[in-house]
Amino acid sequence: MTSTVTPPLGDTERKPGRTPAAAPGAATRRKRGDGRFVAVCLLPALALFALFMIWPTLSVFRMSLYSWSGFSAQERFVGLDNFAKLLDDQQFLRSFQNTVALLVIVTVVTMGLGLALAAVMTRQKLRGRNLYRFVLYIPNVLSVVVIAAIFSAVYDQENGLINGTLRLLSLDGLQQVWLGDQSVVIYSVAFAMVWQALGYYMVIYMASMASVPEELYEASALDGAGAGRQFFTITLPLIWETLRTTLTFFILSAVNLSFVLVRAMTGGGPDGSSDVLLSYMYQQAYTNSSYGYGMAIGVVVFAFSFLVSLLVSRATRRPPLQY
């Protein structure tokens, strides 16, 4: 006679290697707990961002509508009068032109040389390639104020490296007062900006080019493509997203960099010929006691930077390539 053992009520047959599914309520509570943890972690950063970025930005917009010296307790609402005044301010227009000129010159030269140097160091077998990369990257490690001091010495009329070299080569007629001549001062500042940024972007492009498969170059070489054609048909399209990102980032950083170099190297001189938007804003807000007017210039800088970034992003947009 055989007997059958009936399992206890509620006991279920389990398969090896499987665990019972968690209750839906437990998963929901776990997700809520994760969300609260993320919120707690982000809260300090968001609070600091709001305190030191959002609130000062809103204050700039508000103060651009007032006439205020920056020191007195009296603020007079003037509406859009500060912006109307900008249209008749010849020095503001000159500063705006200098800013645009620097952005165009420095962006084209830095991006072009950065791409060319990255392509040469990536595709060509150069001896001492790491040394070249290290030397070109050094300016990015230095403080901008240090770079301004270096180039002030290089451009010195009497003892500077450039004029001294020209005298040594008996080319005295090419000597210039590099930081004192209105016709060349903005180009002198532009050269310093290029020297500071070139190595940084070259290294970024080298890293991006290193990810391009070597098989593509080998196949194109078999089809008779030279180095130049390979660069424009393989390298450039495949690093396009990196180029777009760095281009937008560089334009925004160049606006700030131009202010520091102009303030440290020329102070806006001679006779305001090297002023850029931010240096002129600083002069109006903190030197001429026209704080409201200076904040109006700050609003223009904000709008200009945002608009240029948007236009560059739209103009360089293209479908991503896959390989």
φ/ψ bin of 79: left (φ > 0), alpha (ψ from -120 to 50), beta (otherwise): left
257-294 per-position pLDDT tens digit: 999 999 999 988 898 899 999 999 999 988 888 899 99
Within 13 Å and on the Cβ side, how many CA atoms surround 253? 17
| Domains of the chain from N-terminus onward | 82-315 (1.10.3720.10)
Q: Return the H-helix or E-strand segment holding 201.
A: helix 185-209
Residue pair 187/200 in contact (Cβ under 8 Å)? The answer is no
Q: How large is the average pLDDT for residues 50-56?
A: 90
pLDDT score of 203: 92
- The Cα-based distances of 113 to 42, 59, 120 in angstroms read 40, 40, 10
pLDDT score of 281: 94
The torsion angles phi and psi of 66, rounded to 5 degrees, stand at -125, 155
| Contacts of 48 by beta carbon, 8 Å cutoff, 6+ apart | none
**Considering the entire predicted model, what is its pTM?**
0.82
3-state SS, residue 67: strand
More confident residue, 287 or 193: 193
Residue pair 186/102 in contact (Cβ under 8 Å)? The answer is yes
- Sequence length of the chain is 323
pLDDT at 192 over 80: yes
- The Cα-based distances of 148 to 33, 91, 171, 295 in angstroms read 51, 23, 26, 26
What is the distance between the alpha carbons of residues 138 and 200, in angstroms, rounded to a whole number?
A: 9
pLDDT score of 187: 94
Q: How large is the average pLDDT for residues 95-104?
A: 94
Q: How large is the average pLDDT for residues 43-67?
A: 91
What is the distance between the alpha carbons of residues 250 and 130, in angstroms, rounded to a whole number?
A: 24
Residue 55 pLDDT grade (very low, low, confident, very high; cuts 50, 70, 90): very high
φ/ψ bin of 317: left (φ > 0), alpha (ψ from -120 to 50), beta (otherwise): beta
